[in-house]
Amino acid sequence: MLGILCLLIAAVTCGDAAKAVTLTPADLSVPVGREVIFNCNIERDDRDYIRFYRQFPGNAPQLILRHRRSLSSPSYDSGFSSSQFDAKASSDVDFKVIIKQAKVEDSAEYYCDTWDSTAAEVVSHGGTKLLVTSSDVTPPVVTVFPPSNDELQSKEATLVCMATQSIPYADVTWMACGRQATGAVATGPAERESNGNYKISSYLTVQTSEWNSDVPYTCKVSLGSQSAENTIKKSKCAT
């Protein structure tokens, strides 16, 4: 995820920096309507803003707000407002960013960054995964598709997992023989369907020889306490 973030947020460092930025907690699961508090520590004040972002899987980060201790209130980017979010500074380096009443649509990953004058670059920390659950959230419907016949003529082949669900965020895990799969995984952004549900597609690239040896592959999609999975292997596929 750090590599993806570095590609999406300009000037974010991928190496060591003179200043550490931390965002806690690491993962959160809360019911709809709950207040959510993120703690961002920037270690040293360089008289710059802290910036707070939201990112849905497969999409570029969205800047929510900027804040610094000298301001009475944060400034918001387009599409966000004080009715949804707030930020407070307890010191020059300690900030709290607050979602006032979490909605299912707030399920995403969140990031915090600021300027490091010593390293002359923006430094970032994030990956706080927030999942907002509701009694209306039902388990996803998961379908796994085998590689195409054309792909099976090459050394590598791709399995496709498609999940239909009621929220735009989910954790997708691929397993082989009950253990985490070692192949390359790519999960696309959620796509909203005409009925209001969301579709997420995830792709696992495997060695064709493994597929031909009848290894069982499982795609598991989790929405907090709700999850579903589907398993596929060559001998169970129609010829």
Q: Same structural domain for residues 65 and 92?
A: yes
pLDDT band at 195 (very low <50, low <70, confident <90, very high): confident
Of the candidates 59, 56, 55, 75, the residue with the CA atom closest to the CA atom of residue 67 = 75
Q: Same structural domain for residues 90 and 125?
A: yes
Question: Could you tell me which residue, 67 or 236, shows the higher pLDDT?
Answer: 67
**Domain span at 175:** 141-236
Domain count within the chain: 2
Joined tokens for residue 2: 């750090």
Joined tokens for residue 234: 């060559």
What count of Cα atoms within 13 Å lies in the side-chain half-sphere of residue 18?
Answer: 10
Q: Same structural domain for residues 204 and 100?
A: no
Lowest mean pLDDT among 107-111, 152-156, 223-227: 223-227
Q: Same structural domain for residues 177 and 92?
A: no
pLDDT band at 18 (very low <50, low <70, confident <90, very high): low
**What pLDDT score does 238 carry?**
60
Predicted TM-score of the model (pTM)? 0.64
pLDDT in tens, 33-67: 999 999 999 888 777 888 999 988 767 899 999 99
pLDDT in tens, 19-32: 788 899 988 888 88
Among residues 74, 107, 133, the one where a domain terminates is: 133
> If you average pLDDT over each of 93-102, 116-125, 175-184, which comes out highest?
93-102
Q: Contact 184/176 with Cβ under 8 angstroms?
A: no
**What pLDDT score does 189 carry?**
80
Cα angle at 141 between 178 and 218, to 5 degrees?
15
Q: Same structural domain for residues 95 and 69?
A: yes
Joined tokens for residue 100: 């006032």
Q: Same structural domain for residues 34 and 151?
A: no
Compute the distance between CA of residue 225 and CA of residue 96 in angstroms, rounded to an integer: 27
Compute the distance between CA of residue 212 and CA of residue 28 in angstroms, rounded to an integer: 40
Name the CA dihedral angle for 132, 136, 139, 143, rounded to a multiple of 10 degrees: -100
Q: Same structural domain for residues 91 and 174?
A: no
Q: Same structural domain for residues 124 and 151?
A: no
Q: What percent of the chain has pLDDT over 90?
A: 43
Summary mean pLDDT of the chain:
85
Tell me if residue 145 falls in helix, strand or coil. strand
Number of H helices, E strands in the chain: 2, 19
**What pLDDT score does 239 carry?**
53
Compute the distance between CA of residue 23 and CA of residue 215 in angstroms, rounded to an integer: 39
Give the CATH number, domain containing residue 181. 2.60.40.10
Of the candidates 17, 67, 8, 81, the residue with the CA atom closest to the CA atom of residue 38 = 67
Q: Same structural domain for residues 148 and 55?
A: no
**What pLDDT score does 36 carry?**
96
pLDDT of 83 above 80: yes
Compute the distance between CA of residue 80 and CA of residue 121 in angstroms, rounded to an integer: 26
pLDDT in tens, 117-158: 887 788 887 678 888 877 777 889 999 999 998 889 999 999
Q: Same structural domain for residues 99 and 147?
A: no
Q: Same structural domain for residues 197 and 129?
A: no
Mean pLDDT of 10-15: 41
pLDDT of 101 above 80: yes
**What pLDDT score does 76 carry?**
95
